[in-house]
Amino acid sequence: MMPMLLETLLVLYHYMRIQCDLFTRRCCKRARKCMQNYNLAHSTSPEKVTRKVLRPPDTLYLEVLE
């Protein structure tokens, strides 16, 4: 009984760790994208700013909802 329980806990632990890693990676990617957008919007070069403005506004919102 006891070894079985330990095994189950270990499997769960590894599964959760993998999920957590995936989640963290996804968040990091999103954060990096946000920073790029922020830098684009606040950069001095005008063509970068227009590119930011021309981007459809709902795409940013969709990224947050995913």
**42 pLDDT tier (thresholds 50, 70, 90):** low
DSSP summary character for residue 27: H
Please report how the helices 2-41 and 46-54 are oriented relative to each other, as an axis angle in degrees rounded to 10.
120
For the CA atoms of 24, 29, 31, 35, the dihedral, rounded to the nearest 10 degrees, stands at: 160
Give SS3 for 1: coil
Note down the domain range covering 8: 2-65
pLDDT value of position 27:
72
The label of the residue with tokens 């700013």 reads 49
**63 pLDDT tier (thresholds 50, 70, 90):** very low
Structural domain count, the chain:
1
User: What are the tokens at 52?
Assistant: 């930011």
